[in-house]
Amino acid sequence: MFGKAIKLFSLFGFEVKIDVSWLVILVLVLWSLAGGVFPTMYEDLATATYWVMGAVAAFGLFASIVVHELCHSLGARRYGLEMSGITLFIFGGVAEMTEEPPSPKAELVMALAGPASSVVIAAIFLTVAWLGGQAGWPDPVVGVVYWIGLINAILVAFNLIPGFPLDGGRVLRAILWHFQRNLRKATRIASRVGMIFGGLLIAFGVLNLLLAFTVAPEADIRPNPIGGLWWILIGMFVRGAASQGYRQVLVREALHGEPVRKFMNDQPVTVQSDLSLSDVVENYVYKYHFKMFPVVDDGRLVGCITTRKIKSIPQEEWSERTVADISEPCTADNAVGPETDTMEALTKMNTGKISRLMVVEGDQLEGILTLKDLLKFLSLKLELEGDEGGPQQQQLKGELSNIAEN
């Protein structure tokens, strides 16, 4: 979902990161507030005052989203779920779960924790804004406090729409899961509602754009084309995230609880430490097309060699340098045990952006786990278990097949 994320700070043990895309929304929010919202609310203030108000309000939005996602994370921690952190991105924020909630109750508590915090923030700031207005506070102060309360109320209303992966969609999934006793079915229905809602947002954005360019310039009400573009982008995001959420459930159900031993190749291709890099490239890389090879000497695993490390050596030195010169030791990042949960291994692959893991027990190489083999298994499993998931499941099966063939 995200690109490059920058760690900002830690809060209650959770890393708070900001995706570079969030800088886009920060600039747009600041420009919108300073150039439109606050000048409309309060006329004849200094331009610098509007920009200060916009900056403070934008920071209030940032803090509100952090609190919202933090409450989701605290709710997850209550039920023993591991959270990898909180990331702010172009359409808001997300508390990153490494697994699905253990029960409908856990899902419900986690889903409602975020909106509940936003309700509290909205109530506090709107009340303070009203009291400040009665007490004669300066307009810029009242305006900023009021806007922070208002935007939190809007966030609550938007997030409680019953379409996955919005909080309301997670509430819907929890209720369906409770009565149907089937997480996959519940996720499928909730994600379809989310995709429909995303489609409506796109349609509304397109209509907004059409009206913006067809309504006469002198009309009293003329839609803003920038707003239409944002509705389209948000709708596309909601549709994509809803579909992705269902696919994640399918993958997790297929792999969770299965040991790596079940999927590993127990006859892996290995190299020796004394081989030259030119030998490795010609006789192994170009022959087998792998990007990583375990290094085994006298039956003992001593590490691995990757095409990335080979590439870092000038090509004219390949015939003189050996595998031992650039091999990397076995670490938690490139190796797993044979009884490791396969879903945990897949998460490690995704996090490390690698497609092969060594399966190690002691100093012995038990096998190699490859992303390609996992994708082939998932594709076959979806094909054999029917089309219960409809278009979403068929789309995932097609994507997995394409990836597995490449």
Question: Residue 218's pLDDT is what?
Answer: 56
pLDDT beyond 80 at 281: yes
pLDDT, average across residues 373-386: 74
CA atoms within 13 A on the CB side of 15: 13
Q: What is the β-pairing status of strands 14-19 and 356-361? A: unpaired
In whole angstroms, give the CA distance from residue 111 to residue 169: 9
Burial class (CB in 10 A: 0-12, 13-18, 19+), 35: middle
Q: State the pLDDT confidence band at 122, using cuts at 50, 70 and 90.
A: very high
Query: What is the predicted pLDDT for the residue at 280?
Result: 93
In terms of phi and psi (left: phi > 0; alpha: psi -120 to 50; beta: otherwise), the region of 164 is beta
Q: Rounded mean pLDDT of the chain?
A: 82
pLDDT in tens, 181-224: 888 888 888 888 888 988 898 998 888 888 877 765 555 555 66
Domain boundaries, the chain: 5-160, 184-252, 260-372, 376-405
How high is the pLDDT of residue 1?
Answer: 45
pLDDT above 90 coverage of the chain, percent: 27
- pLDDT at residue 149, rounded to an integer: 94
What pLDDT, on a 0 to 100 scale, did the predictor assign at position 398?
Answer: 52
**Tens of pLDDT, residues 8-41:** 777 767 777 777 767 777 787 888 888 878 888 8
Q: What is the pLDDT of residues 304-325, one digit of tens each?
A: 999 999 999 999 999 999 999 9
Task: Supply the pLDDT for residue 301.
Answer: 92
**First CA to last CA distance, the chain:** 22
Q: What is the pTM of this model?
A: 0.69
pLDDT higher than 70, residue 65? yes
Quick one: pLDDT at residue 2?
A: 45
State pLDDT tens for residues 69-104. Answer: 888 888 877 877 776 667 766 556 665 666 677 788
Weakest-pLDDT range from 148-157, 165-174, 344-353? 344-353
> Using CA atoms, how far apart are residues 112 and 164, in angstroms rounded to an integer?
13
The domain 260-372 having CATH identifier 3.20.20.60: the answer here is no
